[in-house]
Amino acid sequence: MRALLVCCCFLLVAAGPPAAAQPADETAIRTALANWTQAFNARDASRICDLFAKDLRYDYRGFPERDYEALCGLLRRSLADPTKRFAYAHDIREIIVSGDLAVVRLTWTLTVTIRGASPVESKEPGLDVFRRQPDGSWKIVRYIGYEAP
């Protein structure tokens, strides 16, 4: 995790002199995360991939690196499973914006309910790297996550 943080900080520095972070950028990122959470919890498969850039790469502890197509397929299959109910909530710890890149340190809380069983909750601390897209939106291009012990 420390290596990824160092790498992300390097990317922010290498991006050139930072433009002053605009409150609108942070607000747009918070809104993008909130919209994704709402779409996921509503099982809205038509919007479930909107948060991620097509060149996404991500790492989740114990799984091989994946890309946009793998993530979107996994999300769609999960939401289509009628035997399970998934719900996400997020707690943003920090947002650092530098030019067209932003790093978000946050914790996702996933609650999974399998029909006939008690809900199971997991905490997933992570680091999301956003890039401003040509249309002005912010999308995740890299992220790392892991389940807290």
27 CB contacts (<8 Å, ≥6 apart)? none
Dump pLDDT digits (tens) for 67-113: 999 999 999 999 999 999 999 999 999 999 999 999 999 999 999 99
Domains identified in the chain, total number: 1
Domain residues for the domain of 123 are: 2-14+22-145
Strands (E) located in 17-51? none
137: Cα separation from own chain's centroid: 14
Closest CA to 110 of 135, 142, 79, 66: 79
Give this prediction's pTM: 0.83
HSE (side-chain half, CA atoms, 13 Å) at 124: 19
Q: What is the CATH number of the domain that holds 136?
A: 3.10.450.50
